[in-house]
Amino acid sequence: MPWHDTFVSSFTTGFERWTAEERQLPELNKLDEKLKLRKNLFQVIDANGRPVTDPNGTSKPDLEAANAYNGLNEVFGDEKLDSLSRGHYDFDPDSMTAFHGLLADAKGGAQRNATELGTELATAIALARDEVKNANRDDDTIWQKSEIYKRLEELKAALRDWDKLLAVDALPDRDGLKDSAKKCNDKFEACYREHFLLTRTGAGKEAVPYTKYQLLATMRALAEKVASQFAARAGRPSFSAMYELICDVPNRGPFKKGTEAADALVKFYGTDLGKAWTAELKNMERALIKEDKVAAKDLKEEFKKLTEKEPPVDLEGALDEWRAHFKDPELLKKEDDQKVLRAKIAEIAFGLRKYKEAVDSVLEKVDQTKVGSVRKTYQEIFDGFARQMHKEILLCKDNL
């Protein structure tokens, strides 16, 4: 299947990241369950950010948020695919096995582009459109007039709104997150209703392979990614939520390179990651000045904007506060401190994203023969901090 080979080849880095990170989540989920952090994942919160409780002290569940979360995880779930469970798609065992291979590829892609889920869907839509067009003697009107095309375009718009919301702040407004997650869930449901009709016996000409299988896998991967991003930011603080937040640092390189960079940071700076951040930025600034003084000045201005925005992007401070809590196992057990930990990890992940965007916005416009190696080194350093946060969140499990 050439279309599959082409699709998979574009996800090599994302798949490597996803598989490496996915292996760790079950252990963190076990820790969350032991500490009862997964219980009542979504709670009604008062104006002070505290859970609303009944007279018995039991927190009130936020059913609207929970329904959106569950819907995103279940809209393309196995029970709707598998013929053995009378699923709507009626995939036979061989088709289910092949589908899960495609789903793994799609999850890798969603992870690689976690801050651009709308663009990820746009790519899948374009490939589906081309395949339908080729299967119908270059007739593009069949795709453009189809109901699935209309629903996919609506979903793409909802995902781009979701992406924009996550780009606003480390932990965006909770009500805004809930409303946007619900909107995404509604659009995924609409796509599901139209898409499964393409595969039903007697519904006319069966969908071509990419549209039938890979588009489905992509939609499921994206729905599950929105669910995890929603829970990490709007659900109860937990160690798996912290891990999910740092997973979303965008466009990182190979997992191995990031791990090597993390090891180098600890070797040179020990546990003082706040100091490491400031020192490494200075080192990179000096390296860039040698190659392009104008670019170095422009990038310094972009970094200054980050520290002066409201609220400021203060990575050094967030790293220091994370460390102050991380080193004390007793603090790790307290729910209020877990809330602080989540906030600090969110700030670190958001800050790394914004610094990465600043580097790209400046350096991608200048001569890459001069600044290409410096740009790559910036990327490796940012990867190193992200990977070190991964490692330290996992260390929380050992400390507890």
* pLDDT of 2 strictly over 60: no
> How far apart are the C-alpha atoms of 188 and 18, rounded to whole Å?
22
Percent of the chain scored above 70 by pLDDT? 92
- Residue-level pLDDT at 201: 47
* pLDDT tens, residue by residue, 238-256: 999 999 999 999 766 778 8
- Residue-level pLDDT at 245: 96
CB atoms within 10 A of CB 238: 25
Task: Report the DSSP beta bridge partners of residue 43.
Answer: 61
Mean pLDDT of the chain: 88
pTM to 2 decimal places: 0.91
- Residue-level pLDDT at 11: 54
3-state secondary structure 133-185: HHHCCCCCHHHHCCHHHHHHHHHHHHHHHHHHHHCCCCCCCHHHHHHHHHHHH
Task: Report the DSSP beta bridge partners of residue 262.
Answer: none
* pLDDT tens, residue by residue, 254-263: 788 889 999 9
Q: Are the beta carbons of 104 and 112 closer than 8 angstroms?
A: no
DSSP, res 53? B
> How far apart are the C-alpha atoms of 157 and 153, rounded to whole Å?
6
* pLDDT of 320 strictly over 90: yes
Band of pLDDT at residue 224, cut at 50, 70 and 90: very high
* pLDDT of 307 strictly over 50: yes
| Higher pLDDT among residues 254 and 220, named by residue | 220
- Residue-level pLDDT at 9: 47
Considering only CA atoms, give the Rg of the chain: 22
- Residue-level pLDDT at 200: 62
- Dihedral angle sign, alpha carbons of residues 24, 27, 31, 37: positive
Band of pLDDT at residue 337, cut at 50, 70 and 90: confident
**Two tokens, residue 3:** 């279309």
> How far apart are the C-alpha atoms of 374 and 207, rounded to whole Å?
47
* pLDDT tens, residue by residue, 297-306: 999 999 999 9
- Residue-level pLDDT at 85: 58
Average confidence (pLDDT) over 74-103: 82
Which are the contacts of 344, defined by CB distance < 8 A and separation ≥ 6? 318, 319, 321, 322, 325
* pLDDT of 10 strictly over 60: no
* pLDDT of 199 strictly over 60: yes
- Residue-level pLDDT at 1: 43
3-state helix, strand, coil in the chain (%, to 5): 75, 0, 25
Band of pLDDT at residue 14, cut at 50, 70 and 90: low
| Higher pLDDT among residues 355 and 137, named by residue | 355
- Residue-level pLDDT at 93: 84
